[in-house]
Structure 1
Amino acid sequence: MQKRLFLKALFALAAGSGAAACWAQASDKPIEWVHPYPVGGGSDAIARKLAESMGAQMGRSFFVSNKPGGATNIAAAYVANARAIGNIVFTGDFATLAANPYLFANLPYDSARDFVSAGLYARYPILLVVSSKVPASNLDEFLQWARANPDSANFASSGVGSPQHLAAELFRERTGLKMTHVAYRGGAPAVTDLMAGAVSFALMDASTVVPQMKTGRLKVLGVASPQRLKNFPDIPTLHEQGLKDFEAFAWQGMLVPAGTPRATVDALNQGLAAALKTQAVIDFYANIAVEPWFSSPDEMASFVAGENSRWGKIIRERGIALQ
């Protein structure tokens, strides 16, 4: 019995030493943080801020490599085909892990097999926002207006299959509204048309509409979260206005290629945790209405599986697809 325990411990030590050696082998190389969106966006700024902070915390050099296009598929394929030696990480999000497996008939990667979760790091609250031309100041007034004016109840999103689009589809399902989807190439043009009154409303992430919220150019009727937002406590939740348990949000976390040693994953997770606790990162998140959201690798993997199941059901039922 003691011999078996000794051998088990010896094998575990050898495995751990091998993983540590792999991490050490890559330690002289900078870590490439692959980001699937263009330079200059909010999520790009977060990746760069975290890369800077993690580099300082871990004594490693990080650099952000933007590979936009294909609804994150270009970046995802690049990482899926990368060598798992501990010097590449990837911004994994709703698109890559929850929506694309259902939106596309053929993907250049397998979201369940090609990546390993290293930890969540951001939650993007979603708000119900309406044009100033819509005569509503709360959820009930908006629903009354939308039911009386179905031809005008058109909603904007940042793209087909985006978190904003699917949040609105969930809203449609829960309210029974007749509403028309108007898809844009990104959040900025959607917000521009919303302010102009070309579309009536949207379920948009708070980080995209912060300037318009602060100046009153858009009316915010509610937040799709269980609790009110810490930085905007005056905005009521949709739940407290009668849409019980309605919750939708965008999110991001860190992925690594499948086969990356667990010691490397754990080291990255610890660096991520340390970065999210720094005041500079906390303040940065607060300024753009994004919530720090840390998890262990296993917690992220479990969360992603749930999101995949939840939103996949809506995509299939609505017949939403991309080519």
Structure 2
Amino acid sequence: MRILSAFALLAASSLLVLPVQAADAWPAKTIRILVPFGPGSTPDTMARMTADYIGPKLGVPVVVENKAGAGGNIGTAAMAKADPDGYTFGITISGPLAANTVLFPNLPYKPAQDLDLLTIAATQPSVLVVSPSLGVNDVDGLLKALRAKPGDYNYGSMGVGSISHLAMAALAAASGTDIVHVPYASSSKVVTSILSGETQMGILPAAAVMEQVKAGKIKALAVATAKRSTILPDLPTLAESGVSGIEADAWMGFVAPHGTPQAIEDRFTAEVVAMLKDPAIVKKLANLHEEPVASTPAEMKAVVQGDLDRWTPVIKANNIRFDQ
């Protein structure tokens, strides 16, 4: 019995040591960062910046793989189903972790169970923009125009169920009127539609609109953030403009397949956080109208829950859903 007990104790202790040994040997091969959106998207840009920065520090190649489709669900499902051996990480945005859990009844993954949240890397404000042809200079003027001709105006979004769609649906509700929704495949196509006159307004990431705002081709009225953005400090928030409850920060954060050794997650996250403190990276982000966040996992979880609480009523009130 004593011999059996000794063997049992030895076996148990070896199980405890294995994750530490694995972490000590990590990384020993190429690391993948999965992106659930296409090349050139904001998450893709962050992923490639991260790969270029941390690869040399870790001493192994870090490659980016794009798996776009279904509002980010395809790539996020790939993250969730990946081997949790510490060689696959993902970067994603709010939608696949929050709103999509309500929009899609048959979501092929469960964010809270299948993914470990690591850190929100960076964020950028979403901006309420309008065509100069509307002749409005602030949110109050826009609301008056909408109420004067309910149903006569339209807006573009980055797709049905996207944050840009939900934020504008919430604005329509706040105005007490209907605004016709015109979905597009990307923020750049929405901007093109506003410039061409196909649509008249939208709530879009700053990086997509500010070049045209500075050129005077689109007018920015407010940011959809809880407080004024340090990137665009001269723009009031929607709340300051009399419309509360619409916060559509365009953040992006890193995740790992659930079960990835904690020590490896900690090491990867530490490398990302160190990158976000590098002055050269901070400058690059500022040029993209982004600001570093480097949140803790708990803080990221709170943000995801806040987004879920915020958008669920909007989704249900507008009966937005996908059957797949």
TM-score (norm 2): 0.90
Unpaired runs of 5+ in structure 1? 1-9
Task: Tell me the equivalent position of 2:283.
Answer: 283
Task: Tell me the equivalent position of 2:217.
Answer: 217
Write the deviation string for residues 87-139 of structure 1: whole angstroms up to 9, x where unpaired.
Answer: 11011221210121111121221222111111111213111100121010111
2 CA distance for matches of 1:245 and 1:304? Answer: 16
Task: Tell me the equivalent position of 2:28.
Answer: 28
1 CA distance for matches of 2:207 and 2:307? Answer: 21
Letter of the aligned partner of 1:230 in structure 2? T
Task: Tell me the equivalent position of 1:307.
Answer: 307
Q: CA deviation at 1:32?
A: 0.1
Q: CA deviation at 1:19?
A: 2.3
Counterparts in 2 of 1:234 and 1:310: CA distance versus 1, 3 Å: closer
Write the deviation string for residues 22-81 of structure 1: whole angstroms up to 9, x where unpaired.
Answer: 224441111100011111233311211122222244444311111111221221222222
1 CA distance for matches of 2:92 and 2:298? Answer: 15
Letter of the aligned partner of 1:294 in structure 2? A
Task: Tell me the equivalent position of 2:79.
Answer: 79
Q: CA deviation at 1:250?
A: 2.2
Unpaired runs of 5+ in structure 2? 1-9
Letter of the aligned partner of 1:152 in structure 2? D
Counterparts in 2 of 1:14 and 1:274: CA distance versus 1, 3 Å: farther
Q: CA deviation at 1:172?
A: 2.1
Counterparts in 2 of 1:15 and 1:128: CA distance versus 1, 3 Å: farther
Q: CA deviation at 1:14?
A: 6.9
Matches within 5 A, 1:32-43: 32-43=32-43
Task: Tell me the equivalent position of 2:201.
Answer: 201
* SS in structure 2 of the partner of residue 133 of structure 1: helix
1:26·1:85 contact (CA, 8 Å) conserved in 2? no
Counterparts in 2 of 1:199 and 1:296: CA distance versus 1, 3 Å: same
Matches within 5 A, 1:144-293: 144-244=144-244, 246-293=246-293
Counterparts in 2 of 1:122 and 1:12: CA distance versus 1, 3 Å: farther
Q: CA deviation at 1:320?
A: 0.4
Task: Tell me the equivalent position of 1:110.
Answer: 110
2 CA distance for matches of 1:43 and 1:227? Answer: 23
2 CA distance for matches of 1:60 and 1:11? Answer: 32
- After TM superposition, the structure 1 stretch with the greater mean CA deviation from structure 2, 280-289 or 295-304, is 295-304
Counterparts in 2 of 1:131 and 1:16: CA distance versus 1, 3 Å: farther
- After TM superposition, the structure 1 stretch with the greater mean CA deviation from structure 2, 246-255 or 277-286, is 246-255
In the alignment, does 2:74 pair up with 1:63? no
Letter of the aligned partner of 1:229 in structure 2? S
1:155·1:181 contact (CA, 8 Å) conserved in 2? yes
2:89·2:254 contact (CA, 8 Å) conserved in 1? yes
2:26·2:264 contact (CA, 8 Å) conserved in 1? no
Q: CA deviation at 1:210?
A: 2.1
- After TM superposition, the structure 1 stretch with the greater mean CA deviation from structure 2, 115-124 or 55-64, is 55-64
Counterparts in 2 of 1:152 and 1:315: CA distance versus 1, 3 Å: same
Q: CA deviation at 1:226?
A: 3.1
Q: How many residues align?
A: 314
Counterparts in 2 of 1:12 and 1:141: CA distance versus 1, 3 Å: farther
- The root-mean-square deviation of aligned C-alpha atoms, in Å, is 2.2
1:132·1:195 contact (CA, 8 Å) conserved in 2? no
Task: Tell me the equivalent position of 1:127.
Answer: 127
* SS in structure 2 of the partner of residue 155 of structure 1: strand
* SS in structure 2 of the partner of residue 250 of structure 1: coil
Letter of the aligned partner of 1:42 in structure 2? T
2 CA distance for matches of 1:174 and 1:65? Answer: 40
Letter of the aligned partner of 2:305 in structure 1? A
